[in-house]
A and B are shown apart, each in its own frame.
Chain A
């Protein structure tokens, strides 16, 4: 329990060690600690952000799915509409074609009938004239009655 020069030596050593620590030990460690704290804070913030982004993306996905489903429904409806329209159009076209064909056939039939009628009339007139000629050949002078016969022929036409 004595005091001696150890005291002064110890005091000097004390300050030298403290100086060394201040110069070479403390700053890098504290710097590393601060940097790591920042890194961790950044990491946590990034994780939070990622989580928020994920939630947002999920919401978007749901929304997109809903939209896609909706538009698919629309497409189907319009396709059906278009199909039925096409069928309707085709049906109308067919009806039109049939009507036209019938009309044409009718017209043709009419013309043919007319023509037949005319031909028939001609033949009837000829037959009648021929018949009348055969009857009248003997009794009627062809020259005398020629005018009459032409009139008759005209009338039959």
Chain B
């Protein structure tokens, strides 16, 4: 940002632009031909890191005295296993749902935690790499928080939706589930079928959208606040510097709570929704 300093608005917009396969930020609201390379990179890298760390602990897991690392992973496993046991009342489903919940928790926590990396650090490195490779630095877009990408967050929540549909069919059978779709929540009467069905569809939609949007909204807002705080420091005044340090510190500390909480909420809701798919109305 040395040459021609961008305006605050340009800075923010640049920070919120994804590095995608089209080379410039997406213009349409929905465009299935575009994929965000930065979100995919960070989510896959952190996903692999997640399973690697968990696998490391699993590989050395013994019933003997655990080390600190193993103890920590076991603590996570116990926590998720306990929650899953209380919410999903099917031991067979838990065999998949509990590991899934663990993955989701750790993975989302790590993706959220990218928010705590200084907001300009990775984009600046990327700008250097991009321009060194012959690109226009103004087009070097990079966003590091994958969960602050609506597509990624909704991708996760739609995954949970698919899981719910799968378990609905698996537990209740196709006919049982279809029966439930038309008779719950108001009761079995031909006149009530359309209302019931509409309510069910709305329920699924609302669950999924709120599930993904909650995560996305929290992370997006958090990232935006970090960008604004960075802008404060960017004024290069004493006030700006002190403000940046104070506000940045406070917000980062507060954000530790938010990233953990959002990961936990996402995990819990995943379990709750899957658990609901097991219960007939």
Contact = CB atoms under 8 A, between A and B. Distances in A.
A4 B34 contact: yes
Interface stretch (B23-31, B120-128, B176-184): B23-31
Interface in A1-35: 1-11, 13-15, 17-18, 20-22, 24-33, 35
B98 interface: yes
B51 interface: yes
Contacts of A9: 35, 40, 155
B63 A29 contact: no
Contacts of A11: 155-156, 158-159, 162
A22 B155 contact: no
Contacts of A25: 51, 54-55, 57-58, 99, 102
Contact of B40 (A10, A26, A36, A39): A10
A2 B102 CA distance: 28
B164 to A, nearest CB: 14
Contacts of A3: 29-31, 150-151, 154
Chain B contact-residue range equals: 35 or more
Contact of B154 (A7, A20, A28): A7
B77 interface: yes
Nearest to A4: B34
Contacts, number: 140
Contact of B31 (A2, A28, A33, A39): A2
Given A2-B31, A9-B35, 14 more contacts: A2-B26, A3-B30, A4-B31, A4-B151, A6-B152, A10-B40, A10-B155, A11-B156, A17-B103, A20-B51, A21-B102, A33-B77, A33-B78, A36-B66
28 contacts: A2-B151, A4-B20, A4-B34, A4-B36, A5-B34, A5-B35, A6-B35, A6-B40, A6-B152, A7-B154, A9-B35, A11-B159, A13-B40, A13-B43, A13-B47, A15-B159, A17-B50, A18-B96, A20-B103, A21-B99, A22-B96, A24-B51, A25-B57, A25-B58, A26-B58, A29-B61, A35-B63, A36-B66
Interface of B: 18, 20, 26, 28-36, 39-40, 43-44, 47, 50-51, 54-55, 57-59, 61-64, 66, 73-74, 77-78, 81, 95-96, 98-100, 102-104, 107, 146, 149-152, 154-156, 158-159, 162, 220
